[in-house]
Amino acid sequence: MIRLQNIEKVYRTNTIQTLALNSINLDIEKGEFLSVMGPSGCGKSTLLNIMGLLDVPSGGTINIDGQSTISFSDKELAKFRNQKLGFIFQSYHLINDLPVLDNVEVPLLYRNSTAKERKTLATAALEKVGLSNRMKHFPTQLSGGQRQRVAIARAIVGKPEVILADEPTGNLDSAMGNEIMDILLQLNRDDGTTIVMVTHDEFMAQKTHRLVRLFDGSQVQ
Amino acid sequence: MFKHLFKMIWNKKKQNSLLIVEILLSFLVIFAVFSFALNSYNNYAKPMGFNYDHVWAISYNHTLETKNPDSVTLVYQTLLRDIQSLPLVVDAGYASSNIPFGSNHMSTGITTNGLYVDRVNNFFMDENYVNVMGVKMLSGRWYDKGDLASKTNIIVINKSLKDKLFGNTDAVGKFIGDKPENRKKVIGVIDDIKTDGDYQAPTYGLYNKQDTAAYIWMGRILVKVAPEANAAFEGQLYKLMAGRLKKSNIEIEHLDNKLTAYNKFTLVPLIILSIVAAFLIINVALGIFGVLWYNINKRRGEIGLRRAVGAPGSSVSAQLVYEAMILATLSLIIGAFFAVQFPLLNVFDLPASVYLFAMLFAVVFIYLLVLICSLYPGKQAAAIYPAVALHEE
Ligand SMILES: Nc1ncnc2c1ncn2[C@@H]1O[C@H](COP(=O)(O)OP(=O)(O)OP(=O)(O)O)[C@@H](O)[C@H]1O
Ligand SMILES: [Mg+2]
């Protein structure tokens, strides 16, 4: 599903140059649930952003669903992200000025869909994460776990083949973290969604199919 | 998408209210400037109604020592005849001091058939006036020498007053003034003239019959001269006046010069208002620009998120421009509500069309202003790197 070959990422600032990723080779199968671990600053988020086409590597090639995305234009990348990928972030990234339902609809605004279709799909996604009774709430009126469930609903509303989650449980206590983890496992099991998850939690990582460890930009396991 | 954006703006109305008020105020100022300018232009486009080229106005004051009315009349009539017979004089006549482009105004009110009309210019002009000024008689006739002696109550009115009192029908032969002592028969309708310069609309006018007792207070002689009339001739004219009206203050002015001076009364405030408005607009433009810029920096997370879920850069920048336009629309709706009160309540007595066009121009202007001010911040937003923006929070 996702094939990374010799991925390198160098950040250059005025004074220093950081090698965030060093020659990463990774093959992720369709339907796989992969977790990425490593100490802070080792390049986990960078790797995920590159897989999610939010960032371009300094070297190497990416192949997602059989397509090489290196030469894609901004519009093509956006379309690809919209249709194939779903994102979940540690800090949720919900739009606080919009109620839950509208937040979940956001990805659908960037494809051809009617207001009615959007509402139906968003309602279904919220049902899936168990939040159908919070659709009219604003994000600030929800707990952290509930917010992350909204974010998951937003990630799955467009029925993506891949979900990229960057420390989805990082801001949550273990009970809420488990709740989120269960939803992700269920998505992987029932819908066959490919999931790549960055985590600091060994216990969470053990529940996934495969674990990749990074250290200083290099893959160590 | 529109509904989505509108909902977001609505939920953020507190933060947006400052911007809305700012746009609203600039709309109202622009509306005022445009109304003023448009009205001035409308008036400018109207014909002057008479020919002021080579018309001179002589002012005098009554200083004759004799109290005998017949001798007084004789002096003034002889003076006029002598002026008329000067080689470079086309024609000349006595006039009250409220001649065109002067600072003197005399106004009155008049009730006719129960309709009261206020602020009517009250002129006293002799039988030569129409010929000196080249004003058109639209119907009936102007005064002649015979009227000077007659005791009948007759009057000439201008077109504006005729339209107001009698509509489209002819006024000649009809009476104005409901009270018996004011009642006068209309003998002629004269064309409107712009007595207050190029940029002011003509107003209602009554042209009263001058009688021989009026010479002592009328105070002006209007003289139409040949194009060749020069300073030397003006000196000759001055000498003639000074010789007949001893100790009188004589002054000779040219109407074209007076018009130029008078126009400044309208143009100077318009220019000042425009300059003030221009500064205000620059301020508002910077304000809008600043607020949008600030918003974008506050909303980097949201922008990054939208990019992540599939918004291309162009869509993000379009979104910010749309949002600014929606805000402008909200301001303009409120602004239009205030602006339509001017024609509805007939404030300032300007034609409704002036207000409506000014409103239209102001709306277009504000949209353009907001569009221009939001294009660059929008472009900057599109350039935000999603990975970086998402990383920050
Ligand atoms: N935009 C950037 N500019 C410069 N350096 C960057 C940038 N983003 C990340 N880095 C550097 O790249 C390295 C990897 O960063 P990354 O965010 O991928 O780490 P991480 O493994 O996700 O860490 P954490 O567990 O704390 O989230 C770090 O040294 C970081 O300082
Ligand atoms: Mg990270």
pLDDT of B134-169, one tens digit each?
999 999 999 988 887 777 889 999 999 999 999 999
Best of A80, A93, A154 to disrupt the B interface (most B CBs within 10 Å) is: A93
Residue B70: CB atoms within 10 A of its CB come to 9
Mean pLDDT of chain B: 90
Q: What is the pLDDT of residue B88?
A: 92
3-state SS assignment for residue B150: coil
CA-to-CA distance for B67 and A26, rounded, in angstroms? 122
State the average pLDDT over residues B26-40.
Answer: 91
Q: ipTM score of the complex? A: 0.94
> Does the pLDDT at position A194 exceed 90?
yes
What CATH number is associated with residue A96? 3.40.50.300
pLDDT of B34-56, one tens digit each?
999 999 999 999 999 999 999 99
Q: Give A190's Cβ-side CA count (13 Å radius).
A: 9
Q: Which two tokens stand for residue B160?
A: 């504006």
| Alpha carbon nearest to ligand 1 atom 5, residue | A11
For residue A5, list its beta bridge partners: A61
Residue A159: CB atoms within 10 A of its CB come to 12
What sign for the dihedral angle of Cα B50, B55, B61, B64?
negative
> Does the pLDDT at position B369 exceed 80?
yes
**Pocket residue to mutate for ligand 1, from A17, A44, A58, most atoms within 8 A of Cβ:** A44
pLDDT band, very low/low/confident/very high, at B281 (cuts 50, 70, 90) = confident
The kind and range of the H/E element at A6 are strand A2-12
Q: Which two tokens stand for residue B282?
A: 């620059």
The whole-model pTM stands at 0.82
The kind and range of the H/E element at B165 are helix B159-166
Ligand 2 centre distance from Cα of residue A18 (Å):
15
> Does the pLDDT at position B371 exceed 70?
yes
State the average pLDDT over residues A87-101.
Answer: 93
Which chain B residues are within 8 Å of A106, Cβ to Cβ? 4, 305-306, 309
Q: Which amino acid is at B130?
A: V
Q: How far apart are the first and last CA of chain B?
A: 26
* Cβ B324 vs Cβ B295: under 8 Å: no
State the average pLDDT over residues B362-372.
Answer: 94
Number of domains in chain A: 1
What sign for the dihedral angle of Cα B353, B358, B363, B367?
positive
pLDDT of A134-172, one tens digit each?
999 999 999 999 999 999 999 999 999 999 999 999 888
Q: Which ligand 1 atom sits closest to the C-alpha of A39?
A: 25
Is A98 in Cβ contact with B309 (below 8 Å)? Answer: no
Is A107 in Cβ contact with B309 (below 8 Å)? Answer: yes
**Pocket residue to mutate for ligand 1, from A42, A90, A164, A199, most atoms within 8 A of Cβ:** A42
Q: Does B392 touch chain A (CB under 8 A)?
A: no
The kind and range of the H/E element at B346 are none
Q: Does B3 touch chain A (CB under 8 A)?
A: yes
CA-to-CA distance for A177 and A199, rounded, in angstroms? 11
> Does the pLDDT at position B343 exceed 90?
no
Domain extent, residue A106, equals: 2-219
Q: How far away is chain B from the Cα of A5, in angstroms, using its nearest Cα?
A: 21
CA-to-CA distance for A98 and A17, rounded, in angstroms? 39
Enumerate the domain spans of chain B.
2-45+262-392, 61-249
